Chains A and B, each alone.
Chain A
């Protein structure tokens, strides 16, 4: 691959990273507004989803045994995780960790019964953000890596 196409693909990846960050930020803000961290709203969402899933599916097992009993810490984790990832991806700070957290949240959405085709582009993107050092190309990671070259968070 020549230098020009590398720059184009790299720039596209950075643009997608910023868009993804913006999307995640809006999702996180919505969750704060909808009181995911302070009310039983997430429990209601899970209970509603239970009625829509095939009774013998893994998602039903996951929801009944894990997600519903621990809905409050899960609400905290998703909300804070989304906002942390959003900021990280938007400004290129701890970019790869942000991508990893995003992957973990998306993966849990999927196995918890909230899967659909719209998750596919997200999965592809977070894997690319994890594989390539986009924070070094455009973001605060480039700056912080100079001061903390041993720290893996800024690589």
Chain B
């Protein structure tokens, strides 16, 4: 009898650890909560480059990269979350992705050559962010083309500091043109 309890406790413990692992993995995904919901009003900034990104402050001033600002979901996309939240209560109907606006800043040796406004498709299973020409793996952070050719890797940047940096480099009026 005691042996049975030990086996039961072992399985309960193992299951608990497994559940925690799944939660941690989900929690770590960009713009995604531990409860399997996409954050509608969250924003994120990423920098993608062909080499591993260093963390120093001068990187954005001097290097070549694509800086990506993932904006909040649009008004109607936010309204649609009512349905997403409702349907996720039923097995197999979990919403696995959405689109939101993104701004891409292209830098060549620190000089911003182009700014592109596009739509980013963010998904779980597979954990990807797809933009026009790029795909970012949200787990490995690998940055590649739609044809699966590696371009480098991406790194999440501190949001508010980076937005301040962008505003300093480009006044808002210019960004909206």
Contact = CB atoms under 8 A, between A and B. Distances in A.
Interface of B: 33-35, 39-43, 72-73, 75-76, 78-82, 85-86, 89, 159-160
Interface string A112-128: 01111110111000000
A110 B82 CA distance: 15
A65 to B, nearest CB: 20
B82 A26 contact: no
Contacts of A115: 41
A80 B81 CA distance: 23
Interface in A75-130: 113-118, 120-122
Contact of B159 (A23, A52, A113, A114): A52
Nearest to B40: A116
B82 to A, nearest CB: 5
A117 B89 contact: no
A23 B43 CA distance: 27
11 contacts: A26-B86, A27-B85, A30-B89, A34-B35, A48-B33, A52-B39, A52-B41, A52-B159, A54-B160, A55-B160, A120-B79
Contacts of A113: 41
Contact of A118 (B34, B42, B79, B160): B79
B43 to A, nearest CB: 8
A136 to B, nearest CB: 27
Interface in A20-65: 23, 26-27, 30, 34, 44-45, 48, 52, 54-55
Contact of A116 (B34, B35, B81, B159): B81
Nearest to A25: B89
